[in-house]
Structure 1
Amino acid sequence: MRETPAYLTVAALFIAVVAVSSSAPLIAFAAAPALAVAFWRNAIAFAALTPISAGPRRAEVRTLLSADGLYCVLAGVALAAHFATWMPSVQLGSVATATALVATQPVWQGLLAAALPSWSRVRGGSPSRLGWAGILLAVIGVAWATGVDIGVSAQAVVADVLALLGAMAAAVYTAFGERARARLSTTTYTWACYGTCAALLLAVCLIAGVRMTGYDQRTWAAILALVIGAQLLGHSMFNYALHRVTATTVSVLILLEVPGAALLAWAWLGQTPRAEALPGLALLVVGVAVVILAGARSRSAATASASLADAADPTPSGAGH
């Protein structure tokens, strides 16, 4: 198999970081209710993936009636909760703070693994000492950043709470998604997940009387940019780069979305991050990076231990004991 040229990997990572960084500024820019934007970005992505799911992947789609399909649906429910909380937080508060708070997803994944050990094998087990140190740093950073917002307005505090709830929902979404992805392709999984998410958000919008159409051209352009950028292109480029770089590297690079989104919001929307919140946001990002690196170290140690156990066991792989 031909090796991916290094410059293509660097280009893919650059495009991916810019694409995901544009998500929050585009949401803030769109002159439409956040729930409607969330619906349209998932519905359009679902429609874009349907020809592939109905064609080359149709045999795999039939397997969604199994437990794998249930995991896809549960992941879609969690994704809907993520979008229904985080996207309004971007429009209610600042792009920089909302993006930083939702980036705490790995922290909540670590806490989920500690609280539910039966799920911990998916993420490499409960947090190690280094992982707990990273969680502590992130929590201090969150307290610092949100404490600044308490003195700003009640709306800013609501935005912070919604962003944190969005991060928690994203952790649950990832947990169910990893279960589904154990046997499903990325295309089939995302098609089912986005479809579930779009259906739920549509129901919420209709019940709440959210305006779904009648937007100006710039809002529709922002929605399409969200679909092409953050929803499809960003994650696709990260997946492409995984041929040459580790998942840990990708996870840490995704944290560049925090300063990237802040810079885009400053240059494009005129949102200047509050100076007193910057140390807290920086500490939060460092804490999350430590959590990611600690998780990678724990998974590497677990893999090494399993390899040593297999080498010491004369029973052929796959046979019963």
Structure 2
Amino acid sequence: MNTRSPRQPATVLALTVAVLAVSSSGPLIAFAAAPALAVAFWRNAIATAVLTPVAAVARRAEIRGILFGPYRRAGLFCLLAGVTLAAHFATWMPSVQLGSVATATALVATQPVWQGLIAAAQGRRPSVHGWIGIGLAVAGAAWATGADIAVSGQAVLADVLALFGAIFAAVYTALGERARTTLSTTTYTWICYGTCAVILLPVCLIAGADLGGYDNGTWLAILAVVVGAQLLGHSMFNYALQRTSATTVSVLILLEVPGAALLAWLWLGQQPRPEALPGLALLLAGVAVVILMARPRAFLRSGRRRG
């Protein structure tokens, strides 16, 4: 027990920074006058460039272990996580620009529901409370999406993309948990972000998404996403996966929803649609039940992972 206590404050701090950082992601993406796919590419490409010298100098032994030694399996999980992260960005980020920040952020927050279903497929079936939470979350998502049907087909498309983004995020987090059992945060994020950028580049070219020619405000927004949501947000969540379950990380991401909605309201003037609010509240309540009632011992569980 004593070996765990020094680790917990660092983990709590990392998770707090991560939540605050990712809350800015949706409003910044909506603000940027650039295609969502291009923003996704640049956030991963720039983050990879920043991490490359650190990984090359400080993590050479791990990288050699991935290429030639005992870490090949972990390296494979890093690559797969990068693929699913690219799929997450390619679905969720367009949803933010097509619809409202509040709805897109809330729908992508259903990640813990899909995380629970992944756990069920692995033989760790949710409890009765877990299934109740899943039902509430699904009902809330249906309510919010139904409210958007009256708005436009584009709003419904945004909702569907956000839900797919949540599914891919759940797979990404589960794969990351496997990779982080043996690899450091730096090595994992470097490989994962690099893989994501390599995949998104041809996607942008095929889709005809402009990769340049933006105004200064858009470049600043992209850099803010890189520093905030990418390097501080995702990286701090990846750090926390070393000592905390993927399920715990997923539920804490829920705090992004009110933060992003508030920023979008104050900064972009996106007031949440009143008819969608009950559905979004039901969705968040269901996701909270999935985690807090179904897996109450998941929080800051034993630090069996490598430091």
Q: TM-score normalized by structure 1?
A: 0.84
1:24 aligns with 26
Instruction: Please report how far the alpha carbon of residue 184 of structure 1 lies from its aligned counterpart in structure 2 after TM superposition.
Output: 1.0
Q: Which has the larger radius of gyration?
A: 1
- 1:244 and 1:178 map into 2 onto residues whose CA distance is 10
Matches within 5 A, 1:159-174: 159-174=158-173
Contact 2:177 2:241 in 1 (8 A): no
- Judged with a 3 Å threshold, the aligned counterparts in structure 2 of structure 1 residues 280 and 222 are, in CA distance, closer, same or farther, namely same
Secondary structure of 2:252's counterpart equals helix
Instruction: Name the Cα RMSD after superposition.
Output: 2.7
1:131-181: CA deviation from partner (whole Å, max 9, x where unpaired): 111101100110110000011100000000000000011111112211211
Give the SS at the match of 1:132.
Answer: helix
Deviations, residues 203-258 of structure 1 (Å, cap 9, x unaligned): 11112221001111000100110011011112455577899999876544321110
Amino acid paired to 2:37: L
* Mapped partners of 1:237, 1:73: distance in 2: 19
Distance 1:112 1:10 in 2: 25
Confirm or deny that 1:101 pairs with 2:103: no
Equivalent residues in 2 for 1:303-314, closer than 5 Å: none
Shift of 1:295: 4.4
Shift in CA distance, 197/11, structure 1 to aligned 2, threshold 3 Å: closer
Relative to structure 1, is the Cα distance of residues 181 and 163 closer, same or farther in structure 2, using a 3 angstrom cutoff?
same
1:79 aligns with 2:78: no
Change (3 A) 1:77 1:246: closer
Question: 3-state DSSP class of the match of 2:293?
Answer: helix
Identity rate, percent: 73
Equivalent-residue separation in structure 2 for 1:236 and 1:156 (angstroms)? 30
* Runs of 4+ residues over 2 Å off in structure 1: 1-6, 8-18, 234-254, 294-300
Cα distance between partner residues in 2 of 1:278 and 1:210: 33
**Matching residue's letter, 2:107:** L
Rounded Cα–Cα distance in structure 2 between residues aligned with 1:187 and 1:9: 16
Aligned equivalent of 1:64 = 66
**Partner Cα distance (1:246, 1:128) in 2:** 17
Distance in 2, matches of 1:201 and 1:244, equals: 30
Q: What's the counterpart of residue 283 of structure 1? A: 282
SS in 1 for 2:58: coil
Question: Normalization by structure 2: what TM-score?
Answer: 0.87
1:207 paired with 2:206, answer yes
User: Which residue of structure 2 aligns with residue 92 of structure 1?
Assistant: 98
For 1:47, give the aligned amino acid: A
Distance 1:291 1:298 in 2: 12
Q: 1:274 corresponds to which residue?
A: 273
Change (3 A) 1:195 1:4: closer
Corresponding residue of 2:305: none
Cα gap change, 1:85/1:242 in structure 2, threshold over 3 Å: closer, same or farther?
A: closer
> Unpaired segments of 5 or more residues in structure 2?
303-307
**Cα deviation digits, residues 1-51 of structure 1 (max 9, x gap):** 895897x98876554332111000000000000000000000111111111
How many equivalent pairs are there?
A: 294
Which secondary structure state, in structure 2, belongs to the residue aligned with residue 55 of structure 1? Answer: helix
Question: What amino acid is the match of 1:61?
Answer: I
Flag structure 1 segments of 5+ consecutive residues without an equivalent: 304-321
Task: Tell me what 1:186 maps to.
Answer: 185
